[in-house]
Amino acid sequence: MIVVKKILLILLLVLSACSSTYAEDDVVAEVYGKEITLRDVQLLHEYDDEDLPQVVKTYVKQEIIIQEAKKLNLDISDYEGGMNPRTYELPPPAPEGHINPIRDFILRQSEKLSMTPEEYMEVYYPTRNERHAYFAAYLDEKFGTLETESLEKHEKTNAFYKNLLTLYEDDVEIYVGW
């Protein structure tokens, strides 16, 4: 009977840890000592609660690459071209019977983050574009530019990305889902 009670207690603790909700300002991970809050993740990613650990892992992998690119002082200006419009307009509604996934994403995320769509876009696009630019610059620096795109480069990039958390385990802490 004592063993059953202990098992039930452990099960309850595990279930409560898995189903706990996080506040926007909760730190969900750290990369090189930089705190990543839930709001940082929510700004760029839409997810169901059960997917939060995987989404945080994805964000952390991207952050590792971004921090590595910054350490190398990579010039990202070539990667930002055309990606940073000065004004952000909500895409128009889709015609009847069609969907506009970008508009729908913006509306869902802005509501989730208690922002107007315009406020959300003013934060989302520059953040996303800068992160994308660092990410692309780093991968090109490490594996060659897009002009030298090949299956070999693709395979090396995927293997590197897949193993990032192992390669940088001393520099990363993830606090959700483990």
67 touches 35 (CB < 8 A): no
Q: Which residue type sits at 46?
A: E
Q: Tokens 């000592």, residue?
A: 33
- pLDDT per position as a tens digit, 136-157: 899 889 887 655 567 777 788 8
Q: What is the DSSP-derived secondary structure letter of residue 72?
A: T
Three-state DSSP class for 30?
A: strand
- pLDDT per position as a tens digit, 63-109: 999 999 999 999 898 886 555 555 678 889 989 999 999 999 999 99
- pLDDT per position as a tens digit, 111-140: 999 999 999 999 999 999 899 999 889 988
Residues 6+ apart with CB under 8 A from 68: 138
User: For residue 19, is pLDDT > 50?
Assistant: no
pLDDT above 90 as % of the chain: 54
User: Helix 117-143 and helix 101-112: axis angle, to 10°?
Assistant: 110
Nearest C-alpha neighbor of 171 from the set 26, 18, 41, 36:
36
- pLDDT per position as a tens digit, 49-75: 899 999 999 999 999 999 999 999 998
Q: Tokens 């019977």, residue?
A: 97
